[in-house]
A and B are shown apart, each in its own frame.
Chain A
Amino acid sequence: MGQIPSMAEENMTPSQSITLRIAKYNPEHDSAKKFMDFTITYERWTTVLEAILEVKKHFDHSIAVRYSCRQATCGSCGMIINGKPRLACFTKISELNSNVITVEPMNNFPIIRDLAVKFERLFDTHHKVKPYLIHDDTEITSDTKEFLQSPEELEQYIQFSNCIKCGLCNSACPTMATDSSFVGPQALAQAYRYVADSRDKGKDQRLKIIDDSHGIWRCHFAGSCSQVCPKGVDPAMGIQLLRGYMLGFRS
């Protein structure tokens, strides 16, 4: 029992307050984004998403924000936090080292309202690269139990299968900033994920899909996608490895 008060004391840093600046915009009747400021208190562990929900609960119920898992798994809560795309549920206020936290809808995605953006195009480009195993004999015959894979073969793509389709990479990408037809780092990383899978036979099909005027060649290897990815996918690596196949540097 004696331990409990001292532990509590250690964790009891007095709660501090910051200004949370939230972008408000309804494309149906607003001509431009407006910002609303709220003063909120936070603890060391408070996330930006929790702060936004706090504002919704006590000050402005109308703020539109999308979230679900609150643990960097569903990919719903991407937004621009202090200038960079981040997951609101995976970003602690304390790690931002700022007295003002500005949250805006993600760039390069059409705005639904306030912080919520449309994901249709992200999902379309994701689909376009055939994000599933392509195999002649998909039906398992009686003598094969499963498609075997060694741990080394797994290592080739497992990193890229971490993608949660949050779209942060597409929001940071400099090509996406001016070309909305670009297939984008998210889809290109997924093309690599399947091409690198030893069970997959769809390499030629996929390379053909991304060998397009708005395809892989629009990537300039600026690497911003990899810097913002919250799951360590490193799309820039996948894209360059993919291009390595196409240029004949790799087989």
Chain B
Amino acid sequence: MTNQDEHKEGIGGMINPRRYGIERVAYLLMRLSGLGLLAYFIGHIYETSSILKGEIGWNEFLEITQTTEGHAILAIVIAMCVFHTVNGIRVMLGHGGVGVGKPARPDYPYIPASQNIRHKMGIYSAIILAAIAMLYGLAVMFGE
């Protein structure tokens, strides 16, 4: 069966954060920050390996991080790091069944207990902490 026949929503539907509340936004940010951190991690290993070229090679490479673009990228990395860690802790707890509510006879209008305020607070905290950390990073880097 081809994709067309299966009528799967595809990647566009998977990443669309507009329809299913803040939980789906967190899902998208978690994936993006995970992949972003992975890319940074690989770049980081490559960068630090330049120490094998001696002090001059190391210093030359380090200069990249002193440019405006370098600062901007590092600020984004800080935000990704904080969001991914804080939201990661929330997701791990959720995956273990912590804070997802207790089974109970549902009543109209059927507000799902798993989409509760505790997890929403976790997501908003992750976003706010990431923003604060990023702003602090920017202040330090550009405030020199």
Asked whether A234 lies within 8 Å of B114 as measured between CB atoms, the reply is yes
Q: Which residues of B contact A177 (CB under 8 A)?
A: 8-11, 13-14
Taking a contact as CB atoms under 8 Å apart, the answer to whether B103 and A157 are in contact is: yes
Give the CA-CA distance A31 to B137 in the complex, in Å. 52
B23 to chain A, nearest CB (A): 4
Are B91 and A236 touching (Cβ within 8 A)?
Answer: no
Q: Give the A interface residue count (CB, 8 A).
A: 51
Q: Are B112 and A229 in contact (CB under 8 A)?
A: yes
- B contact patch SS: loop
Report which of B14, B24, B96, B110 forms a contact with A178, defined as CB distance below 8 A. B14
Would you call A91 an interface residue if the criterion is a C-beta within 8 Å of the partner chain's C-beta atoms? no
Does the CB pair B114–A223 fall under 8 Å? yes
Do the beta carbons of B104 and A236 come within 8 Å of each other?
A: no
Tell me the total A-B contact number using a CB cutoff of 8 A.
142
A178–B8 CB distance below 8 A = yes
- Report if A159-B91 is in contact (Cβ < 8 Å); known contacts: A27-B5, A234-B112, A240-B114: no
CB pair B9–A224 under 8 Å, yes or no, is no
User: In the complex, A153→B30 CA distance in Å?
Assistant: 36
Among B27, B96, B103, B113, chain A packs the most CB atoms within 10 A around the CB of B103
* Cβ contact within 8 Å between B21 and A249: no
Given contacts A172-B20, A174-B27, 13 further A-B contacts (CB under 8 A): A84-B19, A105-B7, A107-B8, A117-B7, A177-B9, A232-B106, A234-B101, A236-B115, A237-B112, A244-B95, A244-B98, A247-B96, A250-B96
Residues of A within 8 A of B (CB): 27, 83-84, 105, 107-111, 117, 155-160, 162, 171-172, 174-178, 180, 196, 220-224, 226-234, 236-238, 240-241, 243-245, 247, 249-250
